[in-house]
Structure 1
Amino acid sequence: MNLGLLTYNVPNSDWVKQVIEAEYQVAWHAQDVTQTLTLQLAKPVDLLLVKLHEGWSALDIQQLTPYIDCPIVLFSLDGRDHTQQVFTAFGFGAKDYVELTGAQQAKATLLLRKIRQQIVLQGIKPRPAEPVSTTLPVIIAIGASTGGPSSLYELIQALPKDFKAVIVIVQHMDGRFSTGLADWLERATSLTVKLIAHREKAEAGTIYIAGADIHLRISEEGRFLYSEEPQHSLFKPSIDVFFESLAKNWRGIAIGVLLTGMGQDGALGLKLMKNKGWFTIAQDQASSIVYGMPKAAVHLQAATEVLPLDKIAARLIKLCAD
């Protein structure tokens, strides 16, 4: 039984961790929502405990629940009235709340009782380890935005005709240009280039282009799935959404590449891929038309290597040959 803790660096957090570890294992201890998402995808837990504090926002739960597939229990130690935020958090998917007051032993007993209740109510069972498959093809996931098409053309052109990996490209663009991008990139290579169809299965030696105006994910069976969720996402398709689904579901090996683009879409997803032990690449500033997304990835320490565009293909060839 593994638990995760999100405490925001609030005082007394170490005490809570010690109480829990008397009966359960704390797999990780996060200080913010971003770190929580990263750690959960790298090492999923069976229950997440979130500590409330002055100024805490239930919107944090709204950000977590699309990606956290375990019960979330809220708790507080500060004696403040968190009623309004707690009920808002329930609406976003949190399962329970416990206010811990009084003597230390009483608080510890109450917290452990609440955890046991959730184990029974939710029928929580420890997660089995998921072995990595050596029979699945390597997936190279590439995210790009502003300046992406020309960068993609140059990268793909440098790959050999017998390249055996699956390449999945998530490019921010208007829906009218999806087919045109696939047709144009096909001129750069002898590999098959195609727009992804819903529920299509990933096949080695193929370059797949995500459709525009809708999010792309991959299932545990290696099939591509389109979805409108999350609705609030600034970009459709979102690079983060695909990278995160890959980190969560793919049981083979993947490589992440984040190319030129404005904003920071893809940076968090690349970090999740790196935390899985996968190799990740961010394009360097000098060769980027817009150094936004790669810069965000570098800032998050999400890139195993930062490379100029003209060196990325050679690195991918070597990684897939090893």
Structure 2
Amino acid sequence: MKIAIANDVAMAAEALRRVVASTSEHQVLWIARTGSEAVRMCAENRPDLVLMDLNMPELDGVEATRQIMEQSPCAILVVTGRPQDNVNQVFRALGAGALDVTATPMLQGKADGAVELLAKIKTMDKLIRHSGGSQAMLPRSASAPERREAKTTKLVAIGASTGGPLAVSKILAGWLPPPGCAIVVVQHIDENFAEHFAKWLGEQLEMPVRAIEHGDELAPGTVLIAKSNDHLVLDKDYRLGYDATPKDYAYRPSVDVFFRCVAQHWRGDAVGVLLTGMGRDGAEGLLEMRRAGHTTIAQDQASSAVYGMPRAAAELDAAQLILPLDKIGPMLRSTTGSRG
């Protein structure tokens, strides 16, 4: 895989170069020292993957990611020092089209950082090949008690990948779902950052958000976030849990796996929503939901950061409705209702 590095700190860039060069499968295509240089070099010599820092001169990593995804789309992995200290910036980059985030390995230090980075690169490689190439937590207010309701009668299942965090926040913003309505989000994101995603999303919404623990029940009025690299499942008793199989599936957690569980086990009203993302995950599961009689929605091409997953759903005729992002939220309210 041809890998580019965008990092203005010489020591960090050299650490990344050495990690990539330590394997025979990958090569360093180029190194950019500024965000604008990264945008230009992507246009001139597009890599398979960019290792993108967040803090750079001229253009930061968020804006560089946005411009690259608009002008020369390719896979982008945010690699930055202590990403947990830059949560807002990380999710802006993910919203702009970056696939995932990891910490910058040290030039001299423990090998853990290098091992984790190589594991991320391996996952990116699988995603890129599976997609046909690069082109192709806690409630908002801890003091406020969570509203508990006796029975879940409606379920909104949302799947997303590249660009998903911002897309999810936009369709759920300002909405208080009706009694009995639970919301589950399966976002492709590493388990080490899932709790941060839940906390960040809770700051954007008017309802509580929390990560799902194995064995949890559906919680009406709460947004539940998949938090494991294993796949989120729903059983016939409506209990949520995690399952490692299929082990060789590149998309983790898989939207397909959860959508299929909804199609097989859920007997109330349900809406499946497939948002922006690279690859095909979620399309077949959405089709099963449609065949089971549930409402299915896919994001349209113009509003998607990457039109991979929704495109696959459209090709399978899995989505009853193909809508721009700003129309999906109103459609959810129309389909399931609102509180008050």
**Interval of TM-score (by shorter of Structure 1 and Structure 2):** 0.5 to 0.7
Match of 1:186 in 2: 202
After superposition, the C-alpha distances for 1:245-276 in whole angstroms (9 at most, x for unaligned) are 11111121211000000000000000000001
1:289 to 305, 314, 328: 305
Query: Does the 8 A contact of 1:220 with 1:251 survive in 2?
Result: no
2:229 and 2:252 in contact (8 A); partners too = yes
Alignment of 1:271 with 2:287, yes or no, is yes
| Displacement of 1:158 | 3.5
Q: Is the 8 A contact 1:243 1:266 kept in 2?
A: yes
- Amino acid in structure 2 at the alignment position of 1:144: A
Contact 1:146 1:260 in 2 (8 A): yes
Letter in 1 for 2:242: Y
Q: For residue 155 of structure 2, what is the aligned residue in structure 1?
A: 139
Listed as ranges, the matches of 1:55-70 within 5 Å are none
Q: CA deviation at 1:212?
A: 2.9
Q: Which residue of 2 aligns with 1:302?
A: 318
Matched, 1:196 2:241: no
1:199-241 CA-to-partner distances (Å, cap 9, x unmatched) read 1110211100001311111011111011111112111110000
1:207 aligned residue (214, 223, 237): 223
After superposition, the C-alpha distances for 1:32-81 in whole angstroms (9 at most, x for unaligned) are: xxxxxxxxxxxxxxxxxxxxxxxxxxxxxxxxxxxxxxxxxxxxxxxxxx
Partner of 2:249: 233
- Is 1:176 the counterpart of 2:192? The answer is yes
Which one of 257, 261, 268 corresponds to residue 277 of structure 2? 261
Task: Say if 1:172 and 1:212, in contact at 8 Å, map to a contact too.
Answer: no
Matched with 1:219 is: 235
Amino acid at match of 1:149: P
Contact 1:215-1:229 at 8 Å conserved across structures: yes
**Corresponding residue for residue 40 of structure 1:** none
1:187 match: secondary structure: helix
Q: Secondary structure at the match of 2:157?
A: strand
TM-score of the pair, normalised by structure 1: 0.56
Structure 1 unaligned spans of 5+: 1-134
* Equivalence for 1:251: 267
Count of aligned pairs between the two proteins: 188
Alpha-carbon distance change, 190 to 163 in structure 1, aligned in 2, over 3 angstroms:
farther
Tell me, in whole angstroms, the C-alpha distance in 2 between the residues paired with 1:192 and 1:180.
Answer: 14
Aligned 1:146-161 pairs, distance under 5 A: 146-160=162-176
Alpha-carbon offset, residue 166 of structure 1: 0.7
Give structure 2 stretches of 5+ with no counterpart: 1-150
- Equivalents in 1 of 2:152, 2:186: separation in Å? 21
1:321 Cα offset (Å): 2.8
Instruction: Give the aligned partner of residue 331 of structure 2.
Output: 315
Verify the 8 A CA contact 2:159 2:255 in the aligned structure 1. yes
User: Which whole-Å CA distance do the structure 2 matches of 1:260 and 1:278 have between them?
Assistant: 20
Deviation at 1:162, TM superposition (A): 5.5
Q: What secondary structure, in the 3-state scheme, does the structure 1 residue paired with 2:241 have? A: strand
2:182 alignment partner in structure 1: 166
Deviations 1:266-290 (A, max 9, x none): 0000000000111100000000000
Equivalent-residue separation in structure 1 for 2:285 and 2:153 (angstroms): 20
Q: Quick one: distance in 2 between partners of 1:188 and 1:160?
A: 13
Question: How far did residue 137 of structure 1 move?
Answer: 1.8
- How far apart, in 2, do the equivalents of 1:197 and 1:234 lie? 22
Higher mean C-alpha displacement, 135-144 vs 170-179: 135-144
- Give the letter for the 1:267 counterpart: A
**Deviation at 1:180?**
0.6
The 3-state SS of whatever aligns with 1:151 is helix
1:164 Cα deviation after fit: 4.8
Q: Percent identity?
A: 44
SS of the residue corresponding to residue 179 of structure 1 reads helix
Distance in 1, matches of 2:162 and 2:200, equals 17
Q: CA RMSD in A?
A: 1.5
* Partners of 1:161 and 1:296 in 2: CA distance: 29
Which residue identity is paired with 1:243? F
**Does the Cα contact within 8 Å between 1:161 and 1:190 map onto a contact in 2?**
no
* Secondary structure at the counterpart of residue 216 of structure 1: strand
